[in-house]
Structure 1
Amino acid sequence: MTDDYMLKYVSDVHTGSNELTFDVAALRTTRLPHTPGWLTGESPEDQGIETGMPNLPQDLQLPPVEQIGFKARVRALGPATLRIQLAPADHQMWREPDCWPGIMTASTNGDPTCTVTSTDDVIRVELPEAELRIGTRPLTLSLYREGRLLMRTGQRLRQVAGFPMAPPALSCDESISLNLEMDTTEQIYGFGEQFSPLRKNGQRLVLEVNDALGTGTGRTYKPAPVWHSTNGYSAFINTGANVTADIGHERPSVLGLTLDDSGLDLIMFAAPTPEARLGDYTALTGTAKRPPLWAFGYWMGRCRYHSSTEMLEVGKRMREESIPADVLHLDPDWLIVDRLQTDYIWNEERFGNRKKFIDDLAELGLRLSMWEVPYLDPASPLFEEAESGGHLLRNPDGRLAHIEGTPTPDGRFRALFDLSRPETRAWILDKQRPFFDDGLAVIKTDFGEGCPPGAVSADGTPGNYIHNLYTLKYNGAIYDMIGDLTGRTPFVWARSGWAGSQRYPGQWGGDAESTVVGMQATLRGGLSYASCVPSFWSHDIGGFYGPELTPGLYIRWTQFGAFSPLMRAHGLRPREPWEFGEQALEVCRDWIRLRYSLLPYLWQVGREVETKGLPFIRPLCLEYPDDRVAIDIDDEYLFGHDLLVAPVMDDGTDPVTRSIYLPEGTWYDFFTDERFEGPGFIERKVSIEQLPVLVRDGAVIPRVDVDGSVRSTDDLLDRPWTVHVWDNGETDLSGLEGFDGTPEIAQVIKHG
């Protein structure tokens, strides 16, 4: 039998300058057998039970009238941001600093002034732009902006006999649940990378970092306990624990959130727009710094290239075919012990002298990206040094922790580096230093999802938090090391993530299947992730695995990649354009060149990501929150503020008809200047050479000329820009930021 309690009565209220504390009495409760509802030991009348109902369950066994205490604190973090903490008095959160457990980087996002007033039944916490009302008997929560109700807990929701179906807060063993009543037209989106439809109503999601083994398994690499409501609020649960989000799945009008933890740390954002709320969220959790220009170029990889000779041949062929490219990626074959582990021992037999290899790539205008994981094989010559140095995670009983959730190809366990330990970070940095001294550009921080719950880290991360937070610490540690070793803005290429991962860019969408549905899931996952973890995101062009990739799908996926924040082709089998026939080579080369021509525009969007906390790719509902159609559009997106992109999800080479939704306003075909008015759907017949891209009226799109002489982004640094303007009025270009200072503007071309 579980120990279940309903958090119900508020007492001992104290107010401070920007906070409120109080106690909550939680009553023993029982979930009714075979019927929905909860029952406490109070009298049926006090609980609101309809005792005269003919179908009232007979012989109700009231639980004992027992109670336990919870501690609560409500704080203003800014003009429209509130923090609600609710936990037993012995919970670790009460003993830790404000930014614990490491997801947050700041404890406020503006003036935290608030006013607290109270009556016998309601406590009001008034901020300049929001108000929280706390019911005291029973405990309830409701959030308002300018008198409009944005959110309330589920106290009103009962079944026919009066039993509550969604008590505002429940404690069950070592978990805590929050139940929110959803409005009749309320839609929910978010929860990090989710490969399901963008609108989450009707779904049940388990937010747990996983080696998802694809994009169609129901698992995800980068969940985040962050969501947005079309009712006008956003929220973030500051936790490392698993969270189960039931969005009207079990109970159609209830957003139920259950944490595998006894405490709740909920931050609510009530600014008027989703973009403003994302700005408030990233002011607390950090923004993504814009990476170097070369990171926005074309990347090519394969799992695996087996030698330096093979990679240099690919690089030379890129140049022979006049395909711009900036990075070649090297998966695990650079290691001697090369299966699911990293010990920093370079395989000279396969790749020769490392510096010479990197220099040879540089002669071709290419940089090297290199694969890494935070795991260590006991077969590695480095294992004894790592274990004796205290660099590996252990279990509470002192034994080495082993990865979970990812099979090992040889049956041996894999240990994990304790990246919360300063000495371990310094040890790894020392191992990596020779690589960066030789010219390594970037590390692909693969995996990281395998930390077992309960492992003990040096920084005291709770055992029920460490699994999900390990990926944040892993990517953060490598990101910081690259900054230390290079002296420039660092950059990684990460697969796993959690809330806060945006400050360690970039990330890619994991191992998609090489099918149309794999491409669809990839875009859905990217849009969902962008709405919660606004960073620099990408995907494996062509998918990573699965059926033989068709030339048609390869072209369509390349077009999608050209209009993605970062662009990389990668898979188990070759992904070079010439591998898919002459037509694919010609069409893909054109789209890659088009991407390079748009890098001045991408550079401006990158600045917006860093300074405003906005995502690079944006679901339409983020910028058009009042458009009731927009939330169901998850097969197109805004690329920055001014471009709308509608990828064609088809695996053939014949023309297809593409239905495109245009939000309110005037839009132009990016290539022909044909004018359209939104809101509404249009249909376009699209050949294999085409991708629907529309530009917003009033847009300013800087571009640079790209011809066959352009090998990489280095060749664009001194070229003048042409600014394309879809506006008949005067245009201010003073806000444009060049790659290295003020850009030289060769001409301005008016459209529309």
Structure 2
Amino acid sequence: MKFRDGMWLPIEGMRTEYAEDIYTITRRPDGRALSLLCPTKHVRSRGHTLNLATVTLDIEAIFDGVISVEATHWFGAADAGPHFDLFPAGKPLDGASISVSDKGTTLSSGSLSATVHPDQHTFDVCFHATDGSMQLTSLLNRSVGFAYSPAPSSPMQLTDMRNFKHYMFTQTTLSVGETVHGLGERFGAFNKVGQSVTLWNADGGTSSDQAYKNVSFWLSSRGYGVFIDTPDKVELEIGSERSCRVQTSVEGQHLKWYLIYGPSPKDILYKYAILTGRAGKIPSWSFGLWLSTSFTTDYDEETVNSFLEGMKARDIPVEVFHYDCFWLKAFHWCDFVFDAERFPDPESMLSRIKTTGLVKKVCVWTNPYLGQASPVFKMAAEKGYLLRRKNGDVWQTDLWQAGMGLIDFTNPEAVEWFVGCMKRLFDTGVDSIKTDFGERIPTEDVQWHDKSINPRKMHNYYAFLYNKIVYEALQNRYGNGEAVLFARASSAGSQRFPLQWGGDCESTPEAMAESLRGGLSLGLCGFSFWSVDIGGFEGCPPPWIYKRWVALGLLCSHSRLHGSNSYRVPWTVDNDDQSEQGCTKTLAKWTALKARLMPYLYSQAAAAIAGGLPLSIRAMCLEFPEDPTSWFLDRQFMIGSSLLAAPIFEEGGRVEFYLPEGRWTNFFTGEVKSGPRWFKETHDFDTLPLYVRENTVLVLGKECQKRTVYDYTSDVQVRLYHTSKGAKAHLVDSDGNSRGTLEVGAENAIIGRNLLNGDSEVFVISG
């Protein structure tokens, strides 16, 4: 939201007030916070204190490298929930200090400090490294304030606020060359400078400025991040109102955010994970290929069996089979009852496809809505399980399902009923849940069961509740390391409930690139695991797009074939072309490659969880923050810390990519290239630029390995890529348990070979 017309004028119909002075600085008794009383005009005499608004700026040391800033106009305004669930693993207890010098009053929180300018009439709060090595950002003149809409013509009008909207805003400075990234799964330009961004969950596909996953966190190339502590609608002008500032605004009387100092982006995400949480441990079977029925296709048990038997005959193992919407009866979504006409005995059906070895696990599609055609609707409405209007009616809409209602997750009894529905699915043989939708949450004329809830804040927060409830139900049934979702909507903290996928994309190369940008941005918000609809959701992909998307999708942390009104088994895409470059052989090769990578991937997954990092898709800037080019790369990514991949978006296989400083080895050919520089290559469908970073100890399954779950320490290949003494690889088993560390000693000798079993081999690829 913009408040000004250029630098000088207010926007018509808007009145803004800015903090001009820092009149008093009050220390909190525990020495961890400063409270700044900031009049909206310069106070040069006692008379100037009358008929004058103030903004209070509270600055608090949270833990090492993290400081919070809260701007408030009127303290009497209620700060209704819901509120983000912060510090889920506990809050660190770090020291803080306050000092005064000729430079001003400084609050320090370990490595990060905030210094308030000593001159009362100079509004300047500078955030900097405590050791003085780096100035991060500042709040300068006309950077903190509030706004009214419409503009009042007299102060007396504001004694009745019912006809006015009130906004709080702050503006942090942008330095020359600084870039901004994150803010959820955003499909536009990777660098957000110059953009207006609204954090408001919406079902808008992947080709607009809307997003399913709006996360109120952004990462700066200058060594800091900002987490905005509200699930409310947040509007950001990122160098788009004032080109040298990031403006954050929210409706209400309070605005709180945390500034997180790295200095490296990995350090920032680690600290952000302390605030909002890190991903749960995810099972190794989930890394295998997921096959879906697709959305509106016509299918029954016979169709499902034909898909799975066809994949087995083509030597493409399917780890998870997913039943999308029409496992349910039409108009009944989502009452959790299999359509009896298509699936008369679902428990036996699911048992058969597992015991025959066609598939290991089963996933079903759900959403938090309930169509009124279902007999369950009347019961849920009578018991108060559905969201109501202010007059007591059940809130209903015909958008999506006729007369549908929305589950009210603020009602404990509704949650208990919903979890009971999950348990019955688990009893039937369901192992995982696709938690679709959860974005179109109404905010007007609604009354939640918890009457303290602010409906506007509930809009984004609903996704967190929805996924938390389902994820914890899975944990309670299958164990903490076996729970896995396939979620679409998210907000800050939802990374705790993996995994997420990128939503409805078209079957085009442009949509591939959009999806990749979305994954990169979401990963920079602490989401460790992410997937995409291989082949694109909307439309029927031509064979070349399907195959290029297969390569991208199998290098994501998780891989699912899914579409809208057409199947995604490979033989339906290219008339069962059996050539080496056909869809079937291409899918088989990339599926097998991912299986071989599992010892590396699952070890890197543990590290990603611990650090609050994305596994894949990982933005280049996380690994190479000192390389300025890395902050602009949005057509390539890292898989963990050691593999670089560049998807191909052209039928002919031409691709341009960037290798940072160092020696890089082509995974497929062994060719070595040195960076930093750009390269061009041309590939068939069974390869792409996949390069191994120097000083990498890469543990792989043997070439015959096709499944993702096996012994990651037995019959493996250990490849040494330009390694020096001290290079390491951490070993885990398929349950995620640590098995020790391989380390390179003198002359490429491997310390810890006793950890390897069976016919394991060591190869010096380059040295």
TM range (shorter): 0.7 to 0.9
The residue that corresponds to 1:125 in the other structure is 107
The residue that corresponds to 2:160 in the other structure is none
Matched, 1:89 2:75: yes
Matched, 1:480 2:472: yes
The residue that corresponds to 2:128 in the other structure is 144
Question: Counterparts in 2 of 1:389-404, with a 5 A limit?
Answer: 389-402=383-396
Asked if structure 2 preserves the Cα contact closer than 8 Å seen for 1:287 and 1:609, the reply is no
Give the drift of 1:3: 5.7
Give the drift of 1:485: 2.3
Asked if structure 2 preserves the Cα contact closer than 8 Å seen for 1:5 and 1:26, the reply is no
The alignment partner of 1:750 has SS state of strand
The residue that corresponds to 2:490 in the other structure is 497
The residue that corresponds to 2:360 in the other structure is 366
Matched, 1:644 2:644: yes
Aligned mates of 2:704, 2:252 — CA distance in 1: 57
Q: TM-score, normalised by structure 2?
A: 0.86
The alignment partner of 1:382 has SS state of helix
Asked if structure 2 preserves the Cα contact closer than 8 Å seen for 1:23 and 1:69, the reply is no
The residue that corresponds to 2:30 in the other structure is 17
The alignment partner of 1:295 has SS state of helix
The alignment partner of 1:666 has SS state of strand
Give the drift of 1:337: 3.7
Asked if structure 1 preserves the Cα contact closer than 8 Å seen for 2:515 and 2:532, the reply is yes
CA deviation digits over 1:481-524, x for unaligned, max 9?
11112234311100011111110100000001110100000000
Question: Counterparts in 2 of 1:729-748, with a 5 A limit?
Answer: 729-730=724-725, 735-740=730-735, 741=737, 742=739, 744-745=756-757, 746-748=760-762
Amino acid at match of 2:658: Y
Amino acid at match of 1:294: W
The residue that corresponds to 2:8 in the other structure is none
Give the drift of 1:218: 2.0
The residue that corresponds to 1:167 in the other structure is 143
The residue that corresponds to 2:5 in the other structure is none
The alignment partner of 2:456 has SS state of coil
Question: Counterparts in 2 of 1:708-719, with a 5 A limit?
Answer: 710=706, 712-714=707-709
Aligned mates of 2:170, 2:386 — CA distance in 1: 36
The residue that corresponds to 1:6 in the other structure is 18
The residue that corresponds to 1:68 in the other structure is 53
Q: TM-score, normalised by structure 1?
A: 0.87
Coordinate RMSD, CA, aligned = 2.6
The residue that corresponds to 1:680 in the other structure is 677
Matched, 1:356 2:370: no
* Residue number among 491, 511, 522 corresponding to 1:518 in the alignment: 511
Structure 1 residues 120 and 629, CA gap change in structure 2 (3 angstroms): closer
Asked if structure 2 preserves the Cα contact closer than 8 Å seen for 1:361 and 1:367, the reply is no
Asked if structure 1 preserves the Cα contact closer than 8 Å seen for 2:331 and 2:373, the reply is no
The residue that corresponds to 2:158 in the other structure is none
Give the drift of 1:65: 7.3
CA deviation digits over 1:432-469, x for unaligned, max 9?
21210222110100000011125443453322211010
Give the drift of 1:2: 5.0
Give the drift of 1:103: 3.7
The residue that corresponds to 2:660 in the other structure is 663
Aligned mates of 2:351, 2:762 — CA distance in 1: 39
Structure 1 residues not aligned, in runs of 5+: 28-39, 47-62, 157-165
Amino acid at match of 1:558: V
Give the drift of 1:372: 0.3
Structure 1 residues 283 and 570, CA gap change in structure 2 (3 angstroms): same
CA deviation digits over 1:228-276, x for unaligned, max 9?
1122211100111111111112322121111233211111111210100
Aligned mates of 1:568, 1:382 — CA distance in 2: 31
The residue that corresponds to 2:319 in the other structure is 326
Give the drift of 1:729: 4.0
Matched, 1:556 2:551: no
The worse-fitting range, judged by mean Cα deviation, of 368-377 and 15-24 is 15-24
Matched, 1:252 2:252: no
The residue that corresponds to 1:538 in the other structure is 531
Asked if structure 2 preserves the Cα contact closer than 8 Å seen for 1:492 and 1:504, the reply is yes
CA deviation digits over 1:79-119, x for unaligned, max 9?
111111222312445x98xxx71342349753431111347
* Residue number among 222, 244, 258 corresponding to 1:267 in the alignment: 258
* Residue number among 438, 453, 456 corresponding to 1:448 in the alignment: 438
The residue that corresponds to 1:630 in the other structure is 630
The residue that corresponds to 1:725 in the other structure is 720
Matched, 1:620 2:620: yes
Structure 1 residues 175 and 436, CA gap change in structure 2 (3 angstroms): same
Aligned mates of 1:695, 1:175 — CA distance in 2: 50
Aligned mates of 2:94, 2:88 — CA distance in 1: 12
Aligned mates of 2:290, 2:353 — CA distance in 1: 13
Asked if structure 2 preserves the Cα contact closer than 8 Å seen for 1:503 and 1:535, the reply is no
Structure 1 residues 420 and 247, CA gap change in structure 2 (3 angstroms): same
Aligned mates of 1:120, 1:392 — CA distance in 2: 60
Aligned mates of 1:347, 1:523 — CA distance in 2: 36
The residue that corresponds to 1:317 in the other structure is 310
The alignment partner of 1:519 has SS state of helix
Asked if structure 2 preserves the Cα contact closer than 8 Å seen for 1:315 and 1:366, the reply is no
Aligned mates of 2:611, 2:634 — CA distance in 1: 23
Structure 1 residues 409 and 418, CA gap change in structure 2 (3 angstroms): closer
Give the drift of 1:153: 3.8
Structure 1 residues 571 and 174, CA gap change in structure 2 (3 angstroms): same
Aligned mates of 1:324, 1:187 — CA distance in 2: 42
Aligned mates of 2:103, 2:336 — CA distance in 1: 63
Aligned mates of 1:625, 1:333 — CA distance in 2: 46
Asked if structure 1 preserves the Cα contact closer than 8 Å seen for 2:603 and 2:730, the reply is no
Give the drift of 1:121: 8.9
Amino acid at match of 2:338: W
Matched, 1:206 2:198: yes
Question: Counterparts in 2 of 1:40-51, with a 5 A limit?
Answer: none
CA deviation digits over 1:583-624, x for unaligned, max 9?
111122111111111111110111012212111121111222
The residue that corresponds to 1:609 in the other structure is 608
Give the drift of 1:747: 1.8
Structure 1 residues 221 and 484, CA gap change in structure 2 (3 angstroms): same
Asked if structure 2 preserves the Cα contact closer than 8 Å seen for 1:192 and 1:223, the reply is yes
Aligned mates of 2:632, 2:87 — CA distance in 1: 33
Aligned mates of 1:602, 1:461 — CA distance in 2: 41
Aligned mates of 1:422, 1:687 — CA distance in 2: 55
The alignment partner of 1:605 has SS state of helix
Asked if structure 2 preserves the Cα contact closer than 8 Å seen for 1:598 and 1:702, the reply is yes
The residue that corresponds to 1:306 in the other structure is 299
Amino acid at match of 1:264: L
The alignment partner of 1:505 has SS state of coil
CA deviation digits over 1:44-98, x for unaligned, max 9?
x99xxxxxxxxxxxxxxxx9974335444322121111111222312445x98xx
The residue that corresponds to 1:189 in the other structure is 181
The residue that corresponds to 2:10 in the other structure is none
% identity of equivalent residues: 26
Aligned mates of 1:305, 1:299 — CA distance in 2: 19
The alignment partner of 2:635 has SS state of coil
Give the drift of 1:217: 2.3
Asked if structure 2 preserves the Cα contact closer than 8 Å seen for 1:502 and 1:535, the reply is yes
Asked if structure 2 preserves the Cα contact closer than 8 Å seen for 1:260 and 1:464, the reply is no
Structure 1 residues 480 and 139, CA gap change in structure 2 (3 angstroms): farther
Aligned mates of 2:56, 2:442 — CA distance in 1: 30
Amino acid at match of 2:221: T
Aligned mates of 1:472, 1:419 — CA distance in 2: 10
Aligned mates of 2:31, 2:442 — CA distance in 1: 38
Give the drift of 1:324: 1.5
Aligned mates of 1:475, 1:216 — CA distance in 2: 24
The residue that corresponds to 1:416 in the other structure is 406
Structure 1 residues 677 and 388, CA gap change in structure 2 (3 angstroms): same
Aligned mates of 2:558, 2:529 — CA distance in 1: 7
* Residue number among 288, 292, 295 corresponding to 2:279 in the alignment: 288
Asked if structure 2 preserves the Cα contact closer than 8 Å seen for 1:19 and 1:73, the reply is no
Asked if structure 1 preserves the Cα contact closer than 8 Å seen for 2:200 and 2:214, the reply is yes
The residue that corresponds to 2:6 in the other structure is none
